[in-house]
């Protein structure tokens, strides 16, 4: 009997499936996840996915939600719009998930969120920071991070109040929406609160020579009190190094793009003194929940969280879990309504309120100072 082995294998497999299938306590709650683990966005979305998986594991180990475990169904967004839209369709119509978390880009979010909105399924954006994403999508759209306005406002307030700056120079990368947005919001806040913008200039993504901008700054008389650099990861280090080598010792403030280890590695520890930035969380141990998260992440994956998007992925699951616990029943609509009632969320990326259905959460922004090549926490602030 040549087929005997096959049959035994099949029979035992079926038996196992029957045993492990419906017998295992309660039905799992299906939570959809869309994160790109291949392509350009894998660098930021893969840590988010890993942290989200960790959060699901912790919640299930603690007994799940209302006695039911969470089952996270993840599809690779492949950093491609059509694949992300397909993943959303698949989660909504094939897997019939109750809620969705995912993506770290506003465009990716806007490509997939209308699908969840049409089906009446809450969809939480993990990392896209355009402030009014929920308004653009509808009542089922939610955001985990603060909007770009918040971090630029906090940066402007810090420059004015803590650094005592009265004048500023603005350098912005003209090629990306994110840098354009934070630059515009910084300008708005800084001038509104009595500061004066002496000059501004535009650079381009991937520029390797900032000497024109540096000459422009040095030719200003009087010199500005602070430089706000709305740049993308990679370019930040290049600019900071060249500015310092060009003799500019002024404070430089940046956005959450500065929050990457390459800043100090490529610019040098000495050059990054007097550099500050706003970000989603401080990955420096504080002894509290952040420390616990970092330790758990290390234990699970052998490395500390790569960047703040890990924290945002972790918090995305925590927020959904809190909404599920608060919801009157485990339905998409009830969970969606429950999200708006969460006003005292306390996650690893800070305290937040999700009461406003149209905008990014009212959430703390983390301020970091670079000292001796290390990221030191200044504090968590709201504008």
Using CB under 8 A, list all residues that contact other proteins: 13-14, 16-17, 19-20, 37-38, 73-76, 78, 80-82, 85-86, 89-90, 92-94, 106-107, 110-111, 114-115, 130, 136, 174-177, 180
β-sheet bridge partners, residue 278? 367
Smallest separation (angstroms) from other proteins to the CB of 85 = 5
CB of 201 to other proteins, least distance (A): 16
Residue 49 corresponds to which tokens in the numbers above? Answer: 């996915």
Single out the residue of 356, 359, 278, 352 nearest to residue 316, CA to CA. Answer: 352
Tokens of 201: 């200039």
Q: How many CA atoms lie within 13 A of 109 on its CB side?
A: 31
Q: How far is the CB of 97 from other proteins (least distance, A)?
A: 12
Q: In what order do the strands lie in the sheet with 345-347?
A: 345-347, 350-353, 362-363
To the nearest 10°, the Cα dihedral for 77, 72, 328, 362?
A: -50
| Residue 126: its H or E element | none
**3-class SS of residue 372:** coil
Per-residue DSSP letter, 68: B
Shortest gap between Cβ of 383 and other proteins (angstroms)?
22
End-to-end CA distance of the chain: give it in Å, rounded. 76
Could you tell me if residue 79 is left (phi over 0), alpha (psi between -120 and 50 degrees) or otherwise beta? left
370 C-beta neighbours (distance < 10 Å), count: 23
Residue (111 or 214) nearer to other proteins, CB: 111
| Angle subtended by helix axes 332-340 and 308-326, to nearest 10 | 110
Nearer to other proteins, 141 or 311 (CB): 141
Which residues make Cβ contacts (< 8 Å) with residue 374, sequence separation at least 6?
Answer: 264, 284
Decide the pairing of beta strands 167-173 and 226-230.
parallel
Q: How far is the CB of 17 from other proteins (least distance, A)?
A: 5
Nearer to other proteins, 19 or 303 (CB): 19
Question: Alpha-carbon distance 136 to 341, whole Å?
Answer: 21
User: Which two structure tokens, joined as six digits, stand for 102?
Assistant: 């995912």
User: 120 or 373: whose CB is closer to other proteins?
Assistant: 120
| CB nearer other proteins, residue 89 or residue 266 | 89
Reading the block at residue 327, the tokens are: 């919801």
CA contacts within 13 A on the Cβ side of 187: 17
Q: Toward other proteins, which CB reaches closer, 130 or 282? A: 130
Query: In this complex, which beta carbon is closest to other proteins, that of residue 174 or of residue 269?
Result: 174
Q: Smaller CB distance to other proteins: residue 60 or 380?
A: 60
- Tell me the closest approach of the beta carbon of residue 88 to other proteins, in angstroms: 9
Q: Which is closer to other proteins, CB of 11 or CB of 303?
A: 11
Q: CB-wise, 116 or 248, nearer to other proteins?
A: 116
Contact between residue 232 and residue 179 where contact means Cβ atoms under 8 Å apart: yes
């Amino acid at each position: 009997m040549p087929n005997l082995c096959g049959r035994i294998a099949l029979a035992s497999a079926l038996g196992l499936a029957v045993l492990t299938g419906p017998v295992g306590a309660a039905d799992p709650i299906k939570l959809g996840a869309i994160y790109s683990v291949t392509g350009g966005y894998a660098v930021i979305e893969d840590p988010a996915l890993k942290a989200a998986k960790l959060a699901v594991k912790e919640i299930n180990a603690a007994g799940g939600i209302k006695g039911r475990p969470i089952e996270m169904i993840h599809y690779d967004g492949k950093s491609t719009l059509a694949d992300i839209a397909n993943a959303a369709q698949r989660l909504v119509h094939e897997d019939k998930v109750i809620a969705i978390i995912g993506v770290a880009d506003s465009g990716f979010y806007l490509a997939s969120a209308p699908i969840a909105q049409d089906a009446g399924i809450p969809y939480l954006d993990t990392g896209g920071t355009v402030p009014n994403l929920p308004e653009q999508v509808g009542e089922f759209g939610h955001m985990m991070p603060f909007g770009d306005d918040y971090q630029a406002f906090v940066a402007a307030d810090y420059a004015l109040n803590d650094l005592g700056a009265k004048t500023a120079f603005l350098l912005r990368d003209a090629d990306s929406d994110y840098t354009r947005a934070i630059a515009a919001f910084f300008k708005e806040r800084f001038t509104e609160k009595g500061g004066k913008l002496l000059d501004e200039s535009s650079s381009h993504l991937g520029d390797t020579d900032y000497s024109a901008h540096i000459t422009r700054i040095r030719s200003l008389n009087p010199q500005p009190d602070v430089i706000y650099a709305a740049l993308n990861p990679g370019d930040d280090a290049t600019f900071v190094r060249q500015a310092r080598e060009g003799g500019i010792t002024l404070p430089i403030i940046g956005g959450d793009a500065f929050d990457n280890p390459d800043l100090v590695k490529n610019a040098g520890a000495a050059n990054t003194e007097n550099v500050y930035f706003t970000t989603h969380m401080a990955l420096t141990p504080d002894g509290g929940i952040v420390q616990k998260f970092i330790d758990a992440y290390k234990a699970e994956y052998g490395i500390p969280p790569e960047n703040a998007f890990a924290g945002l992925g972790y918090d995305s699951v925590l927020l959904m879990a809190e909404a599920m616990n608060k919801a009157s029943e485990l339905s998409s609509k009830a969970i969606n309504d429950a999200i708006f009632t969460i006003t005292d969320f306390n996650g690893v990326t800070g305290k937040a309120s999700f009461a406003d259905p149209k905008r990014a959460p009212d959430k703390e922004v983390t301020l970091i100072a670079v000292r001796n090549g290390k990221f030191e926490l200044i504090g968590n602030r709201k504008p």
